[in-house]
Amino acid sequence: MQATMTFTPGSAPSVIVQNLWLIPALPIVASGVMALLKQSRRKLASGLAIGSLSVSLLLSLIAFARVVGQWAAGSVTRETISFTWLQFGSATVDLGWVLDPLAAIMLVMVSFVGLLIFIYSVGYMAHDENFTRFFCFLSLFAGAMLGVVISNSILLLFMCWELVGLTSYLLIGFWYQKPSAAAAAKKALITTRVGDIFFFLGIVWLFSQTGTLLFYNHGVGSLEGLNLANLLPAHGGLGLSAAGAIGLLIFAGAVGKSGQLPLHVWLPDAMEGPTPVSALIHAATMVAAGVFLIARVYPLMQIGAAPGGTTASLTVVAWIGSVTAVFAALIAVAQNDIKRILAYSTVSQLGYMMAGLGLGGVAVGMFHLITHAFFKALLFLGAGSVIHGCHEEQDIRRMGGLRVDMPLTFATYGIGMLALCGFPIVFSGFWSKDGILEAAKHSAAIKGPFFLLVFGALLTAFYMTRQVCYVFFGYWRGHGTAHESPRVMTTPLAILAFFAMALGAIGTPAWPWFHAFLENRAATLDMHAFGELGFLALLGTSSLVVFLGLGLGWWLYGNKSPKPEAPDALEQSAPWLWTPLRDKLYLDEFYGATFVAFYAWWARVADWFDRRIWGGIVSLVAWLFGLWAKLNRALDVYWVDGSFDKTCEELSNGGGLLARVQSGLVQNYLRILAVAVVALAAILLWSSRP
Amino acid sequence: MTGFASPLTGYLLVAALLFAIGLAGALVRRNAIMVLIGIELMLNAANLNFIAFWRYGPHPEALTGMMFAIFSIAVAAAEAAVGLGLVIAIYRHTGTTELDKINRMKG
């Protein structure tokens, strides 16, 4: 692999950008070292993982500071480095990395949340015998995810994307002794693969259209300048432009990874993995990779939109996101597994992010991604703490009253829950979700999603209240006694809880620092934005919806402590609604009856064909050769072996005969000699007669 | 036959008789000493032939036959000494001189 650095003269990248690759490389190298460690080197493994990610976090913060500095100074905020990896003919396969506001924010979020979850895992996985393997996979994941974030080449992004998928598979199936975990790992890998195939088609198409794999390359990347403009008139089939078709293909990859509607089925099952994995990969970072991907290729999705209008691909993104948001929230209402509720909530929130991207642009979706990463990691780690404290119990009906036994977990979980519900003003989730609702309200082109999203917000508040009532209120219904988790687990909870509240401050309408940073314009403080009528109306609506959800939940479930065997309150009042929701709206069954059944049938056909047709031919050939071999064997045994054996036997017999002559009696020898001499003499005399 | 006219024929007949007696002795006697004596007789038959062929050969003035006979007698004496030595050694080893019982000269 010949890596030749190509720098454009005049704009030499800074030292920070040149060494940006260190951020993903460090955890990956650490993971490689851990793979060689013995399982008993626990301290070293966790030290390596946490140490390498700490350095990555430090470097990420430096990179972030650099971008913020550039932005404040009003200069270019996007710096790239690219190099040629392969060259064939006139086409080159370029790899490279980019530092821009989007990457910088994601870098800090991933490494920071990742680091907290690493620290938490030291406590959570303390009794697991495969501790070292766990940290090896976790570290590899962190490296790959950071790689996705900084990629400037869609191919490098795809590589890291697949690596992330691989670690997801390995970590879901971490307790592979459990058949359900092994099945969930397979399901995750196969389901995301469906999306990835379309994603890869999109990559190939984009490469063939633009001739470059780089996103940004001083005006000749695939997302800038003429290359992007040329995608618009190109024909893409089905009445789409090439840009729209490629955008939709790439979105299919994001649908798989981010658990959007047709392909969301793997994400709830992924909760079979250890809880820190659920928090890091299946809530905070990896599933957000799909949202990040759409944000990264946003120029491609957006091109061709009239001012205030939208494009076909963005419309699809917005609709799929909104429908997913409501769909998953509905299912979450009727689940009893603490992690499964959070998983459906994640699917639902990812739908919000997609809707935000489709309706309001990069900043709206990304802001929800960042705030969600913090409060959802907090919720999952809190759930892990609850599970840990309740002796590995995950059924919320067998918990209860934990606000007394686990006060720290309760406090932090409560903050996370209110942030997720979008409780007004003090919680970050309110501001990010409000941004999405506002964008949906103001979108001139797409009208429906606003109502879906508001309904989703109501459901979110409802199911989270139900969960919290079951887990923390009422009286204890489990076995044994619950206990608070160790400090190493609660400290990350407290830090995340702080950010779950504080992060809202950087994205309020009055001071949209986050949006300005991502969109590369100056951030201005404008307190009057709070007083605008539109904003106040929206604030009122969303607050009303949240309070309605909270109240409804409290009314149905608050402090009731039903017996674990008793039917749910909602089940009693509306069984016709409860049953389909509990059964996840039968989507798994639908897939089982259609796709899985079809493939099973097809596999049986292929199996029959293999056995009967190809197997028959192979058997025939084998039989013929068997016959030929038998013939050869007979020839060998009766002819070659027989003649050889006979020769040996005769030689042996002759030897036995001659051996009898050697009797040991010297006179016998002499007699033979005498007879021989007489015979010789007789011959001589006879032959020499005249 | 002119052969009987020559005295050589008579010598050769005597020598042949002597050889046959020696051979018979060597072949049929069981005692190792008697076998040795038989061998000596065969040697002497050969010596007699040497002398006879020399005396009635083309060059009776050269002493070749006599020299051969003397050498042969000396060698026979040495051989007899060695043979008797061997017989004594065998006797000490096995306690017998019967050749039928000594059959280890094989393999």
What is the torsional sign of CA A567, A570, A575, A580?
negative
Q: Give, in degrees to the nearest 5, the angle at Cα A58 between A52 and A59.
A: 90
Query: What is the total residue count of chain B?
Result: 107
When pLDDT is averaged across residues B89-104 and rounded to a whole number, the result is: 86
A667 interaction partners in chain B (CB closer than 8 Å): 26-27, 35, 99
Residue type, A664: G
Tell me the three state secondary structure of residue A663: coil
State which residue of chain B sits closest to A659, comparing Cα positions: B107
Compute the distance between CA of residue A280 and CA of residue A277 in angstroms, rounded to an integer. 5
Indicate the pLDDT class of residue A576, thresholds 50, 70 and 90: confident
- Which of B21, B23, B34 best tests the A interface by mutation, with the highest count of A CBs <10 A? B23
Query: Nearest by CB to B106, which of A663, A667, A670?
Result: A663
Report if residue B67 sits inside a domain: yes
When pLDDT is averaged across residues A86-110 and rounded to a whole number, the result is: 89
User: Is A663 touching B (CB cutoff 8 A)?
Assistant: yes
Token pair for A368:
């929800």
State which residue of chain A sits closest to B98, comparing Cα positions: A665
Indicate the pLDDT class of residue B107, thresholds 50, 70 and 90: low
- The arrangement of strands across the sheet holding A4-5 comes to A4-5, A79-88, A91-99
Compute the distance between CA of residue A428 and CA of residue A499 in angstroms, rounded to an integer. 8
Residue type, A419: A
Compute the distance between CA of residue A280 and CA of residue A295 in angstroms, rounded to an integer. 20
Q: How far is the CA of A391 from the CAs of A201, A336, A484, B45, B85, in angstroms? A: 46, 17, 11, 121, 106
Indicate the pLDDT class of residue A10, thresholds 50, 70 and 90: very low
Report if residue B41 sits inside a domain: yes
What is the torsional sign of CA A536, A540, A546, A551?
positive
Report if residue B106 sits inside a domain: no
pLDDT at residue A193 is higher than 80: yes
What is the torsional sign of CA A23, A29, A30, A31?
positive
User: Is A671 touching B (CB cutoff 8 A)?
Assistant: yes
Query: Nearest by CB to A666, which of B23, B99, B107?
Result: B99
Q: How far is the CA of A267 from the CAs of A169, A189, A590, B18, in angstroms? A: 11, 11, 17, 123
Residue (of A132, A97, A584, A566) closest to A331 by Cα position: A584
Indicate the pLDDT class of residue B44, thresholds 50, 70 and 90: very high
Contact flag A670-B106 (C-beta cutoff 8 Å):
no
Contact flag B106-A664 (C-beta cutoff 8 Å):
yes
Report if residue B87 sits inside a domain: yes
Mind giving me the DSSP string for A175-215? Answer: GTTSHHHHHHHHHHHHHHHHHHHHHHHHHHHHHHHHS--BS
Q: State the pLDDT at residue A109.
A: 92
B107 interaction partners in chain A (CB closer than 8 Å): 659, 662, 664
Indicate the pLDDT class of residue A685, thresholds 50, 70 and 90: very high
Q: Can you list the alpha helix ranges (DSSP code H) found in A395-512?
A: 402-405, 407-421, 428-442, 449-472, 487-502
Average pLDDT of every residue of chain B? 88
Report if residue B107 sits inside a domain: no
pLDDT at residue B1 is higher than 60: no
Q: In chain B, how long is the greatest CA-to-CA distance?
A: 55
Contact flag A667-B35 (C-beta cutoff 8 Å):
yes
Report if residue B86 sits inside a domain: yes
Q: State the pLDDT at residue A572.
A: 78
pTM above 0.90, yes or no: no
Compute the distance between CA of residue A93 and CA of residue A87 in angstroms, rounded to an integer. 6
Query: Nearest by CB to A665, which of B23, B26, B100?
Result: B100
Token pair for A65:
């500071």
Compute the distance between CA of residue B55 and CA of residue B53 in angstroms, rounded to an integer. 6
Q: State the pLDDT at residue A1.
A: 36
For the segment A456-468, what is each residue's pLDDT rounded down to a tens digit?
999 999 999 999 9
Compute the distance between CA of residue A174 and CA of residue A281 in angstroms, rounded to an integer. 13
Higher pLDDT, A71 or A533: A71
Indicate the pLDDT class of residue A6, thresholds 50, 70 and 90: very low
Q: Provide the domain limits for residue B35.
A: 7-101
pLDDT at residue A351 is higher than 90: yes
CATH number for the domain harbouring residue B24: 1.10.287.3510
Q: How far is the CA of A492 from the CAs of A115, A309, A409, A618, in angstroms? A: 9, 43, 11, 62
For the segment A459-504, what is each residue's pLDDT rounded down to a tens digit?
999 999 999 988 888 888 877 788 888 888 888 899 999 998 888 8
By the 8 A CB rule, do A492 and A341 touch?
A: no
What is the torsional sign of CA A151, A156, A159, A163?
negative
Lowest pLDDT segment from A143-152, A434-443, A567-576:
A567-576
pLDDT at residue A8 is higher than 80: no
User: Is B26 touching A (CB cutoff 8 A)?
Assistant: yes
Report if residue B89 sits inside a domain: yes
Average pLDDT of every residue of chain A? 87
Q: State the pLDDT at residue A12.
A: 64
Compute the distance between CA of residue A271 and CA of residue A171 in angstroms, rounded to an integer. 10
For the segment A257-281, what is each residue's pLDDT rounded down to a tens digit?
998 988 888 988 888 888 888 888 8
Residue type, A318: A
For the segment A310-329, what is each residue's pLDDT rounded down to a tens digit?
788 888 999 999 999 999 99
By the 8 A CB rule, do A466 and A334 touch?
A: no
pLDDT at residue A13 is higher than 90: no
For the segment A652-664, what is each residue's pLDDT rounded down to a tens digit?
999 998 888 888 8
Mind giving me the DSSP string for A228-262? Answer: HHHHTTSB-STT-BHHHHHHHHHHHHHHHHTT-GG
pLDDT at residue A255 is higher than 90: yes
Sequence-ordered strand ranges (E) for chain B: none
pLDDT at residue A5 is higher than 50: no
Residues 13-42 of A with CB under 8 A from B: none
Number of domains chain B is built from: 1
CA dihedral A247→A250→A256→A258, nearest 10 degrees, is -70
DSSP annotation of A447 reads -
For the segment A365-413, what is each residue's pLDDT rounded down to a tens digit?
999 999 999 999 999 989 988 988 888 888 888 888 888 888 899 999 9
Contact flag A670-B104 (C-beta cutoff 8 Å):
no
Query: Nearest by CB to A665, which of B23, B103, B107?
Result: B103
Compute the distance between CA of residue A64 and CA of residue A431 in angstroms, rounded to an integer. 23
Higher pLDDT, A393 or A65: A65
Contact flag A664-B105 (C-beta cutoff 8 Å):
yes
Tell me the three state secondary structure of residue A86: strand
For the segment A414-465, what is each residue's pLDDT rounded down to a tens digit?
999 999 998 887 888 888 988 898 888 887 777 788 889 999 999 999 999 9
Token pair for A632:
């050869």
By the 8 A CB rule, do B33 and B87 touch?
A: yes
pLDDT at residue A595 is higher than 80: yes
The position carrying tokens 């061709």 is A304
Q: State the pLDDT at residue A653.
A: 93
User: Is A685 touching B (CB cutoff 8 A)?
Assistant: no
Compute the distance between CA of residue A113 and CA of residue A127 in angstroms, rounded to an integer. 23
Looking at chain A, the whole-number percentage of residues with pLDDT higher than 90 is 40
pLDDT at residue B85 is higher than 70: yes
Burial class (CB in 10 A: 0-12, 13-18, 19+), A224: middle
B102 interaction partners in chain A (CB closer than 8 Å): 664-666
For the segment A180-189, what is each residue's pLDDT rounded down to a tens digit?
999 999 999 9
Q: State the pLDDT at residue B6.
A: 76
Report if residue B1 sits inside a domain: no
Token pair for A677:
């001499």
Find how far residue A523's CA is from the centre of its chain.
Answer: 34
Contact partners, residue A293, CB within 8 Å, separation at least 6: A148, A157, A161, A250, A253, A254, A257
Compute the distance between CA of residue A480 and CA of residue B66 in angstroms, rounded to an integer. 132
Q: Give, in degrees to the nearest 5, the angle at Cα A338 between A553 and A490.
A: 105
By the 8 A CB rule, do A195 and A255 touch?
A: yes
Contact flag B104-A666 (C-beta cutoff 8 Å):
no
Helix A362-389 and helix A338-360, axial crossing angle in degrees, nearest 10: 170
DSSP annotation of A100 reads S
Indicate the pLDDT class of residue A107, thresholds 50, 70 and 90: very high
Cβ count near B103 (within 10 Å): 13
Contact partners, residue A581, CB within 8 Å, separation at least 6: A330, A331, A333, A334
For the segment A325-348, what is each residue's pLDDT rounded down to a tens digit?
999 999 998 888 889 999 999 999
Indicate the pLDDT class of residue A4, thresholds 50, 70 and 90: very low
When pLDDT is averaged across residues A206-217 and rounded to a whole number, the result is: 87
By the 8 A CB rule, do A139 and A34 touch?
A: yes
By the 8 A CB rule, do A259 and A270 touch?
A: no
When pLDDT is averaged across residues A226-234 and rounded to a whole number, the result is: 80
Residue type, A95: L
State which residue of chain B sits closest to A671, comparing Cα positions: B27
Contact flag A664-B27 (C-beta cutoff 8 Å):
no
Compute the distance between CA of residue B69 and CA of residue B65 in angstroms, rounded to an integer. 6
